[in-house]
Amino acid sequence: MDGVGRGSKIRSFAIGSLVGAAGAIATVRRASRRTRTRPAGLGAFEDAPCFLETVEAEAQRHREGGDTVTELSNPT
């Protein structure tokens, strides 16, 4: 063929397979050790200072009566 024998190709394939399998095993082990201590999704933002400020500002507007919905007039 092009200077590479069949044995060399098989050896290369075997070594690549072992390296790939070791990487997959290491990834699975690492992922299983990781525990989620923070909430996922939007729940992660509930303790953020900007979110708490927004909620407090909305609550204050509601207490003052400024959080009312006004109907939009339809000019047609």
Annotate 36-49 with DSSP letters as a single string.
--S--GGGGGTT-H
Residue that is written with structure tokens 């050790």 in the block: 33
Return the pLDDT at 2. Answer: 57
Count the domains in the chain. 2
**Cβ atoms 31, 40 nearer than 8 A:** no
Looking at the structure, do residues 20 and 4 belong to the same domain, yes or no?
yes
Instruction: Assess whether 49 and 22 both reside in one domain.
Output: no
| Per-residue pLDDT tens digits of the chain, which is 76 residues long | 455 678 889 999 999 999 999 999 988 887 766 666 666 677 777 778 888 898 899 998 888 886 555 555 555 5
Residue 62 sits in which domain range? 39-68
Structure pTM? 0.38
